[in-house]
């Protein structure tokens, strides 16, 4: 199920972040997740190189995210950042907006978020 929710987040790349966040939350609810409970949210950010990603990863760690940095076969870099929170639209908007600004500042792109179903 986790893959489905992440795929939904990535499917709406052309959709405004606010709309995309709402669609993912709707998909969580439709798949039986209790969005009043804390979820471990996975946020994804992409960069052209490790230098860009390292600066952002360090900033995110200082903000309480658990961060993993992956070098992809095409030499790009993906950050997977995890944080526990209740996936309300306001909470997700706040984090998404912050991550979009941070990645943009360092030449990356915010790729969305996903989570597992929590009953």
pLDDT at 74 over 90: yes
pLDDT band at 12 (very low <50, low <70, confident <90, very high): very low
Domains of the chain and CATH, by start: 2-115 (3.30.70.970)
d(CA 61, CA 6): 22
> pLDDT tens digits, residue range 17-53?
558 888 889 999 999 999 999 999 999 999 999 999 9
The per-residue pLDDT for 37 is 97
Neighbours of 117 (CB within 10 A): 16
The per-residue pLDDT for 83 is 96
Closest CA to 19 of 92, 80, 75: 92
């Amino acid at each position: 199920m986790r893959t489905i929710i992440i795929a939904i987040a990535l499917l709406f790349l052309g959709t405004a972040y606010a709309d995309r966040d709402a669609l993912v939350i709707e998909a969580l609810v439709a798949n039986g997740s209790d969005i009043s409970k804390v979820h471990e949210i996975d946020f994804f950010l992409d960069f052209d190189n490790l230098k860009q990603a390292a600066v952002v990863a360090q900033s995110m760690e200082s903000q309480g995210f658990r961060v993993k940095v992956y070098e992809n076969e095409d030499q790009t870099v993906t950050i997977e950042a995890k944080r526990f929170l209740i996936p309300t639209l306001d909470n997700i908007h706040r984090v998404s907006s912050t991550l979009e600004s941070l990645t943009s500042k360092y030449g990356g792109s915010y790729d969305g978020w996903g989570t597992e179903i929590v009953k």
